Amino acid sequence: MKRKQIFLALTALVMASLACQTLFGGGGDEPPVPSDSGESNPPAVATQDTGSSGGNADTSASGFPITADAYNVIDVGDGSLLYYTNMSLEDVMKFYRDEYTSRGYVERGLLTVISDGVFSIVFDGDPSGKAVVIQSVDLGDGSRTVAISLQDT
What are the beta bridge partners of residue 131? 151
Q: Judge whether 42 lies within some domain.
A: no
pLDDT of residue 78: 79
Q: Could you give the number of structural domains in the chain?
A: 1
Q: CB count, 10 Å around CB of 149? A: 20
Q: Judge whether 113 lies within some domain.
A: yes
pLDDT of residue 142: 93
pLDDT of residue 77: 81
Estimate to the nearest angstrom the gap between the alpha carbon of 121 and the chain centroid: 12
pLDDT of residue 122: 97
Q: Judge whether 10 lies within some domain.
A: yes
Q: How far is it, in rounded angstroms, from Cα 148 to Cα 134?
A: 5
Q: Which of 120, 124, 123 is nearest to 135 (CA)?
A: 120
The bridge status of strand 71-75 relative to strand 80-85 is antiparallel
pTM reported for the whole predicted model: 0.64
Q: How far is it, in rounded angstroms, from Cα 59 to Cα 50?
A: 10
Q: How far is it, in rounded angstroms, from Cα 113 to Cα 109?
A: 9
Q: Judge whether 34 lies within some domain.
A: no
Q: How far is it, in rounded angstroms, from Cα 118 to Cα 135?
A: 7
pLDDT of residue 6: 54
Q: Judge whether 97 lies within some domain.
A: yes
Q: Judge whether 44 lies within some domain.
A: no
Q: How far is it, in rounded angstroms, from Cα 6 to Cα 27?
A: 26
pLDDT of residue 81: 94
Q: Judge whether 35 lies within some domain.
A: no
Domain of 62, in residue numbers: 2-25+54-151
Q: Judge whether 41 lies within some domain.
A: no
Residues, the chain: 153
Tell me, what CATH number does 109's domain have? 3.30.310
pLDDT of residue 1: 57
Over the chain (153 residues), what is each successive 10-residue block's mean pLDDT? 53 51 44 39 33 46 88 89 96 96 95 94 94 96 95 85
pLDDT of residue 153: 73
Let me know: does 84 contact 143? Beta carbons within 8 Å: yes
